[in-house]
Amino acid sequence: MQHRFILAAALFVSTTAAWAQVPAPAVKQAKATLLTGATLHVGNGQVVEGAAVAFNNGKITYAGPAAGFNAGGTAYETVNVNGKHIYPGMILPNSQLGLTEIESVRATLDQQEVGDFNPNVRSVVAYNTDSDITPTLRSNGVLMAQVTPVGGTISGSSSVVQLDAWNWEDALVKADGGVHLRWPAMVQTGDASPQATQRRQAREADLQELESLLAEAKVYKNQKNDRENLKLSSLTGLFDGSKKLFIHANYGKEIVEAARFAQKAGIKDMVIVGAADALVVADFLKENNIPVIYSGVHALPARSGDDVYLPYKMPGMLQKAGLLFCLDYDASLHGSRNLPFIAGTAVAFGLPKEQALSSVTLNAAKILGVDQQVGSVEVGKDASLVVSEGDILDMRTNKISYAFIQGRKLNLTDKQKYLYEKFDTKYNQEGKQVQ
């Protein structure tokens, strides 16, 4: 009995130590705050030297030259950030953050539901606010994410969350704003093998089922229903513009085919996710006002004959083509903290620096439908912003001094900092003993 008690106590202590690496969410803003002396990067392309940013009750009340600030009778707590840089909090789209923790442990994986057609799946209800990964993103200036399901043809709905909350309800910025469609891959027409024929038939069956499901949802929307059909009701927002269809497709023909399919079904707003061939069909996307979430900056070119630097150059080329786009980080979930640095890579290969910032802030907010709340440092928006000692897009100078979500000052401790300090102490102690 005593042995069991000791074992239970040991487990409790080890669990407590592990969870202690995830800081408790910040308390609601109690005092009006004024950041002064920094260079302000608004997020919309504007830069203000010697700026001041004020916020109260979680909202920005002033953003502009420090000389123009007027407290208007409000007592502001002043924070001198002279020589530093103020940025809007970055937004990570198309992410399984909070849905996946340890890939080899099935109990920590909540990103996918069984079946091919799951429009009624709400990914946000499985969102884990206590993920060890989340604080590592905040430490680099990423303060929001689009929690996105995977798998099947229709994976479910995504929501936008802020990354400092006790539970998923507190985290919500926009609930169930997008339905995710993974467009069935085309099969090479010249391939007559049994395997190719089987894949072609399966693809045709998927498209027929998808067409039927969307047609049923459109009818369901326009009639009175005594009993709710969750699958159909979750799709009705696609027909009045209250939801967006996020189409995951990479190749040019698939992008055009999927967009035309959605238009024929009566869907108003859509976004292409992945979009490796976005430049190939740029005229089509621009003509139809379809934005892009580009996924492959840190990836190999799709074709052997492509310029080896094409993925790095793609954001700059999309900008020149006049497309609305943002960047995501799909290389690995644990690497998502590197979102600012893929934007920095794009700067090195032709994308202007402030447009690169927009590609992970305001552009992402526009595409996700939350630009009235976040995405830029402007009066009336949420005070979700960061202060960096240097260029936030540069791995060498990105050092976050302060971060605020809705005016709440965040604790920037994370697991990696904890481990660094732990082993830095260990080896410093060993070095002194050797001496």
- Characterize the bridge pairing of strands 385-388 and 400-405: antiparallel
Single-letter residue type at 250? N
Tokens of 190: 């010249």
Provide the token pair at 382: 């949420």
Structure tokens at 215: 């047609």
User: In angstroms, what CA-CA distances link 226 with 120, 121, 220, 223, 229?
Assistant: 18, 21, 11, 10, 10
Q: Which residues contact 423 (CB under 8 A, 6 or more apart)?
A: none
Q: Is the dihedral of CA 258, 281, 199, 184 positive or negative?
A: negative
Task: Give, for all 435 residues of the chain, the pLDDT tens digit.
Answer: 444 444 444 433 344 444 446 889 999 999 999 999 999 999 999 999 999 999 999 999 999 999 999 998 899 999 999 999 999 999 999 999 999 888 777 778 888 888 899 999 999 999 999 999 999 999 999 999 999 999 999 999 999 999 999 999 999 999 999 999 999 998 887 777 888 889 889 999 999 999 999 999 999 988 887 788 899 999 999 999 999 999 999 999 999 999 999 999 999 899 999 999 999 999 999 999 999 999 989 988 888 889 999 999 999 999 999 999 999 998 788 889 999 999 999 999 999 999 999 999 999 999 999 999 999 999 999 999 999 999 999 999 999 999 999 999 999 988 888 888 889 888 888 766 666
**Cα–Cα distance, 233 to 120 (Å, whole number):** 8
Q: Is the pTM of this model over 0.85?
A: yes
142-147 vs 408-409, strand pairing mode = unpaired
The whole-angstrom separation of Cα 93 and Cα 81 is 29
Strands 142-147 and 90-95: parallel
Type and span of the H or E element at 240: helix 237-240
| Per-residue b or e along 129-152, where b marks 16 or more CB atoms closer than 10 Å to that residue's CB | bebbbbbbbbbbbbbbbbbbbbbb
Burial classification of residue 23, based on how many CB atoms lie within 10 Å of its CB (0-12 exposed, 13-18 middle, 19 or more buried): middle
How would you classify residue 372: left for phi > 0, otherwise alpha for psi between -120 and 50, otherwise beta?
A: alpha
- The per-residue pLDDT for 180 is 97
Task: State the Cα–Cα distance between residues 95 and 118, nearest whole angstrom.
Answer: 18
In order of their start, the domains of the chain are: 2-88+412-434 (2.30.40), 90-374 (3.20.20.140)
Q: What is each CA distance from 45 to 309, 358, 359, in whole angstroms?
A: 25, 7, 11
Residue 288 backbone phi and psi in degrees, to 5? -100, 5
Structure tokens at 78: 């002043």
